[in-house]
Amino acid sequence: MVHQDDSFIREVNEELRSDQMRLVWKRFGRILIGAAVLVVLGTIGKVGYDYWRDSEASAAGDKFLAALTLARDGKKDEALAALTDLEKDGFGSYPVLARMRSASLLAETDAQGAVNAFTVIAKDTSVPQALRDAARLRAAYLLVDTGTYDQVSAEAEQLATPQSAMRHSAREVLGLSAFKHEDYARAKEWFDAILADSETPRNVANRAQMLLDLISASGKLSS
Protein backbone atom coordinates (compact mmCIF):
# COMPACT_ATOMS: atom_id res chain seq x y z
CA MET A 1 0.00 0.00 0.00
CA VAL A 2 1.17 3.54 -0.65
CA HIS A 3 2.06 5.74 2.32
CA GLN A 4 -1.01 7.98 2.13
CA ASP A 5 -3.30 4.96 2.49
CA ASP A 6 -1.72 3.81 5.80
CA SER A 7 -4.24 5.51 8.09
CA PHE A 8 -7.12 4.25 5.96
CA ILE A 9 -5.88 0.67 6.08
CA ARG A 10 -5.29 0.81 9.85
CA GLU A 11 -8.86 1.95 10.38
CA VAL A 12 -10.24 -0.73 8.08
CA ASN A 13 -8.14 -3.48 9.64
CA GLU A 14 -9.56 -2.66 13.08
CA GLU A 15 -13.06 -3.21 11.79
CA LEU A 16 -12.09 -6.35 9.92
CA ARG A 17 -10.57 -7.87 13.03
CA SER A 18 -14.00 -7.41 14.61
CA ASP A 19 -15.51 -9.39 11.73
CA GLN A 20 -17.50 -6.41 10.40
CA MET A 21 -16.83 -6.68 6.66
CA ARG A 22 -20.36 -5.59 5.89
CA LEU A 23 -19.79 -2.31 7.68
CA VAL A 24 -16.62 -1.78 5.64
CA TRP A 25 -18.61 -2.14 2.44
CA LYS A 26 -21.23 0.33 3.68
CA ARG A 27 -18.55 2.87 4.53
CA PHE A 28 -16.26 2.52 1.54
CA GLY A 29 -18.13 0.60 -1.16
CA ARG A 30 -19.67 3.61 -2.89
CA ILE A 31 -16.33 5.41 -2.92
CA LEU A 32 -14.68 2.40 -4.59
CA ILE A 33 -17.47 2.04 -7.14
CA GLY A 34 -17.41 5.78 -7.83
CA ALA A 35 -13.71 5.68 -8.55
CA ALA A 36 -14.11 2.64 -10.76
CA VAL A 37 -16.94 4.23 -12.72
CA LEU A 38 -14.61 7.09 -13.64
CA VAL A 39 -12.54 4.57 -15.61
CA VAL A 40 -15.61 3.49 -17.57
CA LEU A 41 -16.68 7.06 -18.20
CA GLY A 42 -13.18 7.82 -19.44
CA THR A 43 -13.47 4.92 -21.89
CA ILE A 44 -16.86 6.17 -23.05
CA GLY A 45 -15.43 9.66 -23.50
CA LYS A 46 -12.49 8.43 -25.59
CA VAL A 47 -14.64 6.26 -27.85
CA GLY A 48 -17.24 9.02 -28.11
CA TYR A 49 -14.62 11.60 -29.09
CA ASP A 50 -13.16 9.37 -31.81
CA TYR A 51 -16.64 8.70 -33.14
CA TRP A 52 -17.46 12.44 -33.11
CA ARG A 53 -14.16 13.45 -34.74
CA ASP A 54 -14.89 11.29 -37.77
CA SER A 55 -18.32 12.86 -38.29
CA GLU A 56 -19.07 15.89 -40.39
CA ALA A 57 -19.22 19.08 -38.34
CA SER A 58 -22.86 20.16 -38.05
CA ALA A 59 -25.39 21.92 -35.90
CA ALA A 60 -25.86 18.67 -33.99
CA GLY A 61 -22.40 19.16 -32.48
CA ASP A 62 -23.38 22.53 -31.04
CA LYS A 63 -26.61 21.06 -29.68
CA PHE A 64 -24.77 18.18 -28.03
CA LEU A 65 -22.28 20.50 -26.36
CA ALA A 66 -25.14 22.73 -25.23
CA ALA A 67 -26.86 19.72 -23.66
CA LEU A 68 -23.66 18.77 -21.83
CA THR A 69 -23.40 22.34 -20.53
CA LEU A 70 -26.98 22.20 -19.25
CA ALA A 71 -26.22 18.95 -17.45
CA ARG A 72 -23.05 20.38 -15.95
CA ASP A 73 -24.99 23.42 -14.73
CA GLY A 74 -27.52 21.20 -12.95
CA LYS A 75 -30.35 21.81 -15.44
CA LYS A 76 -31.12 18.12 -15.76
CA ASP A 77 -34.63 18.36 -17.25
CA GLU A 78 -33.50 20.79 -19.93
CA ALA A 79 -30.46 18.65 -20.68
CA LEU A 80 -32.58 15.52 -21.04
CA ALA A 81 -34.98 17.33 -23.36
CA ALA A 82 -32.10 18.51 -25.56
CA LEU A 83 -30.58 15.03 -25.63
CA THR A 84 -33.94 13.48 -26.51
CA ASP A 85 -34.18 15.83 -29.49
CA LEU A 86 -30.71 14.74 -30.60
CA GLU A 87 -31.66 11.08 -30.26
CA LYS A 88 -34.53 11.67 -32.68
CA ASP A 89 -33.05 14.19 -35.11
CA GLY A 90 -29.31 14.29 -34.52
CA PHE A 91 -26.72 13.98 -37.27
CA GLY A 92 -24.12 11.24 -37.60
CA SER A 93 -22.82 9.97 -34.25
CA TYR A 94 -24.79 12.32 -32.04
CA PRO A 95 -27.97 10.25 -31.54
CA VAL A 96 -26.09 7.38 -29.89
CA LEU A 97 -23.90 9.75 -27.86
CA ALA A 98 -27.08 11.47 -26.69
CA ARG A 99 -28.52 8.10 -25.66
CA MET A 100 -25.40 7.32 -23.64
CA ARG A 101 -25.45 10.67 -21.89
CA SER A 102 -29.19 10.46 -21.20
CA ALA A 103 -28.71 7.09 -19.55
CA SER A 104 -25.90 8.51 -17.40
CA LEU A 105 -28.13 11.37 -16.25
CA LEU A 106 -30.95 8.94 -15.50
CA ALA A 107 -28.60 6.95 -13.25
CA GLU A 108 -28.56 9.87 -10.80
CA THR A 109 -32.19 9.24 -9.82
CA ASP A 110 -33.26 5.91 -11.34
CA ALA A 111 -30.56 3.25 -11.29
CA GLN A 112 -32.73 0.49 -12.70
CA GLY A 113 -34.04 2.74 -15.44
CA ALA A 114 -30.46 3.60 -16.35
CA VAL A 115 -29.49 -0.09 -16.38
CA ASN A 116 -32.37 -0.76 -18.76
CA ALA A 117 -31.32 2.15 -20.99
CA PHE A 118 -27.70 0.99 -21.17
CA THR A 119 -28.82 -2.58 -21.84
CA VAL A 120 -30.94 -1.43 -24.79
CA ILE A 121 -27.91 0.38 -26.23
CA ALA A 122 -25.71 -2.68 -25.68
CA LYS A 123 -28.14 -4.83 -27.69
CA ASP A 124 -28.54 -2.34 -30.55
CA THR A 125 -26.58 -3.70 -33.50
CA SER A 126 -26.68 -0.31 -35.23
CA VAL A 127 -24.42 1.12 -32.49
CA PRO A 128 -20.61 0.72 -32.88
CA GLN A 129 -19.32 -2.27 -30.91
CA ALA A 130 -17.03 -0.17 -28.69
CA LEU A 131 -19.96 1.93 -27.50
CA ARG A 132 -22.10 -1.17 -27.02
CA ASP A 133 -19.38 -2.65 -24.81
CA ALA A 134 -19.08 0.59 -22.86
CA ALA A 135 -22.85 0.62 -22.29
CA ARG A 136 -22.74 -3.00 -21.10
CA LEU A 137 -19.96 -2.17 -18.66
CA ARG A 138 -21.77 0.93 -17.37
CA ALA A 139 -24.84 -1.21 -16.66
CA ALA A 140 -22.65 -3.66 -14.76
CA TYR A 141 -21.28 -0.93 -12.48
CA LEU A 142 -24.80 0.24 -11.68
CA LEU A 143 -25.80 -3.33 -10.86
CA VAL A 144 -23.05 -3.68 -8.25
CA ASP A 145 -25.26 -1.72 -5.85
CA THR A 146 -28.64 -3.04 -6.94
CA GLY A 147 -28.19 -6.48 -8.51
CA THR A 148 -26.80 -9.94 -7.90
CA TYR A 149 -23.36 -11.17 -8.90
CA ASP A 150 -24.96 -13.19 -11.70
CA GLN A 151 -26.58 -10.06 -13.10
CA VAL A 152 -23.25 -8.22 -13.06
CA SER A 153 -21.54 -11.24 -14.61
CA ALA A 154 -24.10 -11.40 -17.41
CA GLU A 155 -23.07 -7.90 -18.46
CA ALA A 156 -19.33 -7.88 -17.74
CA GLU A 157 -17.78 -11.35 -17.88
CA GLN A 158 -17.71 -11.48 -21.67
CA LEU A 159 -15.59 -8.30 -21.56
CA ALA A 160 -13.07 -9.75 -19.07
CA THR A 161 -11.22 -11.91 -21.61
CA PRO A 162 -7.52 -11.29 -22.33
CA GLN A 163 -8.40 -9.99 -25.81
CA SER A 164 -10.85 -7.33 -24.60
CA ALA A 165 -9.76 -3.71 -24.45
CA MET A 166 -12.16 -3.26 -21.52
CA ARG A 167 -10.94 -6.28 -19.56
CA HIS A 168 -9.43 -4.21 -16.74
CA SER A 169 -12.69 -2.49 -15.81
CA ALA A 170 -14.68 -5.67 -16.45
CA ARG A 171 -12.51 -7.63 -14.01
CA GLU A 172 -12.79 -4.84 -11.48
CA VAL A 173 -16.59 -4.66 -11.56
CA LEU A 174 -16.80 -8.45 -11.24
CA GLY A 175 -14.45 -8.34 -8.26
CA LEU A 176 -16.43 -5.52 -6.63
CA SER A 177 -19.68 -7.42 -7.03
CA ALA A 178 -18.19 -10.61 -5.57
CA PHE A 179 -16.72 -8.59 -2.69
CA LYS A 180 -20.05 -6.94 -1.93
CA HIS A 181 -21.78 -10.32 -1.83
CA GLU A 182 -19.04 -11.67 0.45
CA ASP A 183 -17.79 -14.18 -2.10
CA TYR A 184 -14.20 -13.39 -1.20
CA ALA A 185 -12.63 -16.34 -3.02
CA ARG A 186 -14.15 -15.21 -6.31
CA ALA A 187 -13.32 -11.57 -5.59
CA LYS A 188 -9.71 -12.55 -4.96
CA GLU A 189 -9.54 -14.37 -8.31
CA TRP A 190 -10.64 -11.25 -10.18
CA PHE A 191 -8.34 -8.90 -8.27
CA ASP A 192 -5.42 -11.29 -8.75
CA ALA A 193 -6.16 -11.30 -12.50
CA ILE A 194 -6.00 -7.51 -12.51
CA LEU A 195 -2.60 -7.50 -10.83
CA ALA A 196 -1.27 -10.27 -13.06
CA ASP A 197 -1.98 -8.27 -16.22
CA SER A 198 1.02 -6.08 -17.03
CA GLU A 199 -1.21 -3.69 -19.01
CA THR A 200 -3.58 -2.93 -16.14
CA PRO A 201 -3.79 0.85 -15.49
CA ARG A 202 -2.12 1.83 -12.24
CA ASN A 203 -5.26 3.23 -10.62
CA VAL A 204 -7.16 0.00 -11.27
CA ALA A 205 -4.26 -2.07 -9.95
CA ASN A 206 -4.03 0.08 -6.82
CA ARG A 207 -7.72 -0.43 -6.03
CA ALA A 208 -7.40 -4.16 -6.63
CA GLN A 209 -4.44 -4.36 -4.24
CA MET A 210 -6.34 -2.40 -1.59
CA LEU A 211 -9.28 -4.77 -1.76
CA LEU A 212 -6.99 -7.79 -1.67
CA ASP A 213 -5.48 -6.33 1.49
CA LEU A 214 -8.97 -5.96 2.97
CA ILE A 215 -9.78 -9.58 2.14
CA SER A 216 -6.50 -10.76 3.65
CA ALA A 217 -6.99 -8.69 6.79
CA SER A 218 -10.51 -10.05 7.26
CA GLY A 219 -9.22 -13.57 7.83
CA LYS A 220 -11.95 -14.94 5.57
CA LEU A 221 -9.41 -16.68 3.36
CA SER A 222 -6.20 -18.49 4.15
CA SER A 223 -3.01 -16.85 2.89
Q: For every one of its 223 residues, what pLDDT tens digit does the chain have, with 9 covering 90 and above?
A: 455 455 655 555 555 455 556 655 666 666 666 767 666 666 666 656 665 555 544 677 777 778 778 878 888 889 889 888 888 877 677 788 889 889 888 888 899 999 999 999 999 999 889 999 999 999 999 999 989 999 999 999 999 999 999 999 999 999 999 999 999 999 999 999 999 999 999 999 999 999 999 998 887 775 4
pLDDT of residue 24: 56
pLDDT of residue 219: 79
pTM: 0.71
pLDDT of residue 190: 97
pLDDT of residue 179: 94
Per-residue exposure over 44-73, b if at least 16 CB sit within 10 Å of its own CB, e if not:
beebbeebbeeeeeeebbebbeebbebbee
